[in-house]
Amino acid sequence: MDVPIIQLKGLTKRYGNHLAVDNLNLQVNKGEIFGLLGPNGAGKTTSILMMLGLTEPTEGSATVCGYNATTDPIKVKTKVGYMPDSVGFYDHMTALDNLLYIGRLNGLAEHQLKHKVELVLELVGLSEVGLKKTATFSRGMKQRLGLAEVLIKGPEVIILDEPTLGIDPTGVKDFLVLIRKLSREQGLTVLLSSHHLHHVQQVCDRVGIFVEGRLLAEGDLPQLAEKLFGKNGYVTSIALDEHLSHPWPPERVLQGWDAIDDISYQGETIVFSCNRNITPSLVRFLVENDHNIMSVNQKNYGLDDIYQRYFETQTGKSDYKRTA
């Protein structure tokens, strides 16, 4: 059963005349990794700050772990670990000392502090470098230490604002694997904001597409693809070892299949646009009718297709760029 951990109702923030967040309605459930995906300036950070009670909504409400973030911000802060987009440490101190300091600030009892710090260092894979000064740390290591800092108070939810910013590809992969592991093994709920499609796609269970203060769509990838590409969401291309002449005789029979919306062919390749996945039936039909199949390709819509389409159709913009 879905247990709501973050509930946003009509959440709105205006800065003067500027509408930074516009009527945001969203639910994130226990143990879920939710990705807030949107370009710079979309309103992701502002939404997060409202969830943490760090800025007041102009309208609407944010409830986190059962507490209203505006009226009960302290309670929310005891339940939530927040990692901002740039994490800072005392560079002249070791990783261990930085964590001990943060642990004390969070009110951890001295007798459990050392053990807790060693545990989180282990969790984020930094045990070996615990005695090194953080000035020597790479950006990827600093992000891991930032995560350790967030975990030290044993939060139920972690909110990560652009956590992969400035890390190299291997560091990103390791970091995202770590997030997934923590969520799955410890039942942590994660809200992650990013403008990197591929990072979000790798780790999130559900994604919200956020543009110009508005949540344009949310769901898992198949749901988003279905909402967007509708009944032509399944595209299968099959190449044969024969040149296809117009009209291609089997076309008449295949047009009678209710799952097929459109058939096009050129050269040796036929493209079927279908309202459900019928690739196995298509292959069977062609083989049974003595056609030799050279290749089969089923298009799976990725987050970049989905995001680009939303970005273009819903905002009228076409300056979308891939951010792989």
For CA atoms 162, 163, 168, 172, give the dihedral sign: negative
3-state SS string over 72-139? CHHHHHHHEEEECCCCCCCCCCEHHHHHHHHHHHCCCCHHHHHHHHHHHHHHCCCHHHCCCEHHHCCH
Largest CA distance in the chain: 81
Q: Which residue in 51, 316, 324, 93 sits closest to 189, CA to CA?
A: 51
Q: Return the number of the residue (35 or 43) whose C-beta is nearest ligand ATP.
A: 43
Residue 43 near ligand ATP by CB under 6 A: yes
Structure tokens at 300: 């799976």
Distance, in Å, from the CA atom of 135 to the CA atom of 114, rounded to the nearest integer, reads 22
Number of Cβ within a 10 Å radius of residue 62 = 24
Residue 45 near ligand ATP by CB under 6 A: yes
Distance, in Å, from the CA atom of 323 to the CA atom of 40, rounded to the nearest integer, reads 12
Least separation in angstroms between residue 318's CB and ligand ATP is 20
Residue 88 near ligand ATP by CB under 6 A: no
Residue 41 near ligand ATP by CB under 6 A: yes
Residue 40 near ligand ATP by CB under 6 A: yes
Residue 56 near ligand ATP by CB under 6 A: no
Least separation in angstroms between residue 22's CB and ligand ATP is 11
Site residue total, ligand ATP (CB under 6 A) = 12
Least separation in angstroms between residue 83's CB and ligand ATP is 14
Q: Segment near ligand ATP (CB under 6 A), from 39-47, 58-66, 151-159, 226-234? A: 39-47
- Between the CA of residue 37 and those of 4, 122, 196, 280, what are the distances in Å? 20, 30, 7, 34
- Pick one of 6, 28, 32, 46: the residue that binds ligand ATP (CB under 6 A): 46
- Pick one of 34, 44, 117, 215: the residue that binds ligand ATP (CB under 6 A): 44
For residues 3 to 22, the per-residue mask of contacts with ligand ATP, x marking binding by CB under 6 A and - elsewhere, is: ------------x--x-x--
Residue 130 near ligand ATP by CB under 6 A: no
- Applying CB under 6 A, the residues found at the interface with ligand ATP are 15, 18, 20, 38, 40-46, 162
